[in-house]
Chains A and B, each alone.
Chain A
Amino acid sequence: KAGVTQTPRYLIKTRGQQVTLSCSPISGHRSVSWYQQTPGQGLQFLFEYFSETQRNKGNFPGRFSGRQFSNSRSEMNVSTLELGDSALYLCASSPLGQNTGELFFGEGSRLTVL
């Protein structure tokens, strides 16, 4: 079974631009979560999607948004990029129906904002 796939793996943007990151979950997984990882803050929860609906949202400004498609693939978008948005963005999927299930992570998209 293929793992969680995130694209692109690395990208460089400048302040004020926007960026879209993509995540393909493990086949059969219907829940997709996004996390921002920075050296000082650890993993910060962005949002979780299930069946194309956002179920949970972390404490991030409205510049951060996401969506999920009918095939469970997900995208997140960050508009008006700031220097502080430089981070590793991790996507994770999980198979709902297993209450004890863990998250399965992709390798991340490393965003650098100049």
Chain B
Amino acid sequence: AQSVTQLGSHVSVSEGALVLLRCNYSSSVPPYLFWYVQYPNQGLQLLLKYTSAATLVKGINGFEAEFKKSETSFHLTKPSAHMSDAAEYFCAVRLLTGNQFYFGTGTSLTVIP
């Protein structure tokens, strides 16, 4: 069975500091990988996705993620946190066949002024 692990259910950073949210997946075959963000009382919005092209993927709002096959990781980073980045972040995988997604349990990001 697929699993997606997000280390750290809560992460706090100071405004202007580096944001690093961790995601590891269990598939033996590199899947498609996604990061979503959820603001309070809203649905999930796509930040970025990896689909076997470039291993460094740039997304919206200054976020980027790097796919590392050897580490089965897809960590999300942003060089400088902004107050508006405070939200819940979900990592997800989709296998190469089929349309089923598997989500991590989420990481709540707090930005301290």
Interface-side segment among A69-77, A78-86, A92-100:
A92-100
Chain B contacts of A55 at CB under 8 A?
99
Assembly CA distance A103 to B36 (angstroms): 10
Q: Which size class do B's interface residues fall under?
A: 20 to 34
**In whole angstroms, what is the CA distance A39 to B82 when docked?**
24
* B32 touching A45, Cβ below 8 Å: no
Query: Do the beta carbons of B100 and A42 come within 8 Å of each other?
Result: no
Main secondary structure of the interface of A (DSSP, over half): strand
Closest beta carbon of chain B to A36's beta carbon, Å: 11
Chain A contributes a number of interface residues (CB within 8 A of B) equal to 26
- For B34, the chain A residues whose CB sits under 8 A away are 102
**Chain A residues positioned under 8 Å from B32 (CB to CB):** 99-100
Q: Does B30 contact A (CB under 8 A)?
A: no
Q: What residues make up the interface of B, taking CB atoms closer than 8 Å to A?
A: 32, 34, 36, 41-46, 49, 51-52, 90, 92, 96-106
